[in-house]
Amino acid sequence: MQDQLNALKLGVEQGVAQAKTSADLEAVEIRYLGRKGELTDLLKKLPTLEPAERAKMGASANELKRQMEILIASRRSQLDQESLSKLSETERADVTEPGNRPLEGHLHPMTKAINEITEIFSRIGFVRTRYPEVDWDWFAFEALNMPKDHPARDEWETFFMDAPVSKKGKMVLTPHTSNAQVRELERGEFPVRMINIAKCYRRQSDATHVPMFHQFEGLYVDKGVSIAHLRGVLDYFAQEFFGPDRKTRLRPFHFRFTEPSFEIDISCGVCGGTGVTADKQKCRMCKRGWLELGGAGMVHPNVLKAGGVDPKKYTGFAFGWGVERTYSMKEGLKIDDIRVLYKNDLRFNKQF
Judged by beta carbon, residue 275 or residue 301, the one nearer ligand PHE is 301
Total residues in contact with ligand PHE, by rule CB under 6 A: 12
Q: How far apart are CA 39 and CA 24, in angstroms?
A: 19
Distance CA 295, CA 12 (A): 98
Is 320 a binding residue for ligand PHE by CB under 6 A? The answer is: yes
Q: Compare residues 289 and 320 and give the one whose CB is closer to ligand PHE.
A: 320
> Which residue, 32 or 213, has its beta carbon nearer to ligand PHE?
213
Binding region for ligand PHE (CB under 6 A) out of 122-130, 159-167, 284-292, 312-320? 312-320
Binding status of residue 296 toward ligand PHE by CB under 6 A: yes
Instruction: Report in angstroms how near the CB of residue 290 gets to ligand PHE at its nearest.
Output: 18
Contacts 24+ apart (CB under 8 A), 203-208: 203/157, 203/158, 203/159, 204/157, 205/339, 207/336, 207/337, 207/338, 207/339, 208/325, 208/337, 208/338
**Applying CB under 6 A, does 172 fall inside the site for ligand PHE?**
no
Query: Is residue 316 a contact point for ligand PHE (CB under 6 A)?
Result: no
The binder of ligand PHE chosen from 129, 145, 158, 178 (CB under 6 A): 178
> 334 CB contacts (<8 Å, ≥6 apart)?
285
Range in contact with ligand PHE (rule: CB under 6 A) among 3-11, 221-229, 292-300, 343-351:
292-300
- Alpha-helix runs per DSSP H in 123-281: 137-140, 179-185, 227-242
Chosen residue from 176, 249, 256, 300 binding ligand PHE by CB under 6 A: 176
Residues 6+ apart with CB under 8 A from 172: 134, 135, 136, 137, 140, 158, 159, 160, 161
293 touching ligand PHE, by CB under 6 A: no
* Dihedrals phi, psi of 40, to nearest 5 degrees: -60, -45
> What does the binding site for ligand PHE look like in residue numbers (CB under 6 A)?
176, 178, 217, 255, 258, 294-297, 318-320
